[in-house]
Amino acid sequence: MLVYDLTNRGKKSKYEYLYQCLKEDILSGKLAEGEKMPSKRRLSEANGISIRTVMNAYEQLLMEGYLESRERSGYYVVSDFDSPLRYQKVEIKEASPEQDENWMVDFTANTTVYEKFPFSMWTKVMRQVLGDYNLHLMKRGEFLGSPELRYEIAKYLYHNRGMVVSPDCIVIGTGIEYLYSKLIGLLPANAVYAVENPGYRKIRLIYEDLGVKWTWTSMSKDGIHMGSLRKSGATVVHTSPEHHYPLGTVMTARRRQELLKWLEESADHYIIEDDYDCEFRYSGHAIPALYGLDASQRVIYMNTFSKTLSPGIRISYMVLPPKLLEQYVNSANFFSNTSSNLEQHTLAAFLRDGYFDRHLNRMRRYYLSQGEKLKNAIQMTPTIPAEEILGMETGTHILVKLKTKLSDKEIKLRARMKGINLCCLSEFCIGEKELYWHVLVLNYSGLEESHMLEVAGVLGEIFV
């Protein structure tokens, strides 16, 4: 019911003030297009005014075109009323959309397989947490994040990444983007940030949004090209040594040592180690993280549960060296933690009770099988001019090197006409694009097994 404070009407009559209030609600969209107005009797009773006052206000709005009268039905807000003040629905186009139903297949969607999320176990653990923690979940969260979750993450990093980390050095946050905004405030104001080229495009978008100076460094088969890094003039480098996206390479032990030597050359040098999908390695053993090898204490380790569990669970974390941690605590301890207490405690129990490890083991088997099946489907399709297929050892995408005269732009256009959305490796480059022409980046995590041969056949039609 519409209730207005008529005591604030000043020198206006009740009719004039009611008319003004109703008109403003129509213009603002609070009274929606096509919405039926309250009856004159109900509105008069709700506001303690006469039916005549309401009728006069309605008649004025009717005369000005804000309302329409329908026989034996009442008054309605005019549905085609046009005003610049009316609330408008804003359509937002995401920069990296999820799977588009119009595509036969979307090889650009590097997402988790939502159907594989362990809903029953997650729900069981969440119910247990609700019972165990009760009112504690309603309180303001710890500044750095749940102590229980930070303890479980520290244990996980020790057993899986060779990192000896105090839980007090771990900072929990809602997504890598949020953590980056906090981290950049800790690093030197005149820092120059280097991104890998080719590399994950979102990182340089974050840098641009945060207004920092950035450049790029070339890649080699062993990882970051050290000569290029030194020439770039960068003081902070972002890298994914365990699994580079999109090249899929694993930085060699020798290159890691060279990068750590670069780190020690200046007190202003820092490394941001992004380990976003290090869990998906299908052969051999993971090389210990740079953070665990760093003697200078200027490596910042970052990871997220978006890839291993779901992007809907907005929990990421960074491990800060002691000096940066002290700076962070002293400068930003008035912030509340941005992740919900319920989800943090649930994830802590999920890690502690072994559910996370079991889920990861299932997903490794699933992704390995998916990658092998896609590779086989491509190899069985003679019309796909594949010279080499790379990236089977880690991650959830493969690279397909092509022998073709078609440009990358022509390949993408022909693919779109066939209902296939794909990316070429050159699209991940800032410079040196010609070094990476004719290479497809195929994310297969969400590809249905039953469609693989069909998809490969359609993909082959592009080159006929």
How far, in Å, CA of 419 to CA of 165, rounded? 48
More confident residue, 64 or 42: 42
User: Residues 91-101: what's their mean pLDDT?
Assistant: 50
Statement to judge: residues 260 and 145 lie in one domain: yes
- Indicate which CATH number applies to the domain containing 56: 1.10.10.10
Single residue among 294, 318, 353 that ends a domain in this structure: 353
Identity of the residue numbered 417: M
Q: Where do the DSSP E strands lie in 147-191?
A: 170-173
Judged against a pLDDT cut of 70, whether residue 100 lies above it is answered with: no
| pLDDT in the model for residue 92 | 56
Residue 445 domain boundaries:
105-109+358-461
Judged against a pLDDT cut of 80, whether residue 279 lies above it is answered with: yes
User: Residues 33-59: what's their mean pLDDT?
Assistant: 89
Helix (H) or strand (E) holding 219: strand 213-220
Confidence of residue 138 (pLDDT cuts 50, 70, 90): confident
Tokens of 396: 């959830």
Specify if 312 maps to a domain. Answer: yes
Beta bridge partners of 398: 442
| pLDDT in the model for residue 102 | 77
Q: Which residue matches tokens 């359609």?
A: 458
User: Residues 335-364: what's their mean pLDDT?
Assistant: 93
User: Residues 31-37: what's their mean pLDDT?
Assistant: 88
- Share above pLDDT 70 across residues of the chain, in percent, rounded to a whole number: 95
Confidence of residue 64 (pLDDT cuts 50, 70, 90): confident
Specify if 84 maps to a domain. Answer: no
Judged against a pLDDT cut of 60, whether residue 65 lies above it is answered with: yes
How far, in Å, CA of 354 to CA of 349, rounded? 8
| pLDDT in the model for residue 285 | 78
Please answer whether residues 235 and 269 qualify as being in contact, where contact means their C-beta atoms are separated by less than 8 angstroms.
yes
Please answer whether residues 300 and 273 qualify as being in contact, where contact means their C-beta atoms are separated by less than 8 angstroms.
yes
Q: CA nearest 345: which of 151, 155, 86?
A: 151
What are the Cα distances from residue 328, in Å, to 115, 166, 256? 38, 16, 27
Statement to judge: residues 349 and 444 lie in one domain: no
Judged against a pLDDT cut of 70, whether residue 282 lies above it is answered with: yes
User: Residues 434-446: what's their mean pLDDT?
Assistant: 92
Statement to judge: residues 188 and 333 lie in one domain: yes
Please answer whether residues 420 and 109 qualify as being in contact, where contact means their C-beta atoms are separated by less than 8 angstroms.
no
- What's the domain count of the chain? 3
Statement to judge: residues 147 and 64 lie in one domain: no
Please answer whether residues 288 and 150 qualify as being in contact, where contact means their C-beta atoms are separated by less than 8 angstroms.
no
Tokens of 230: 């030194």
Tokens of 13: 């009559």
| pLDDT in the model for residue 33 | 86
More confident residue, 94 or 243: 243
The region of weakest confidence among 4-8, 16-20, 199-203, 265-269 is 4-8
Please answer whether residues 30 and 4 qualify as being in contact, where contact means their C-beta atoms are separated by less than 8 angstroms.
no
Cis bond before residue 118 (omega within 30° of 0): no
Statement to judge: residues 294 and 240 lie in one domain: yes
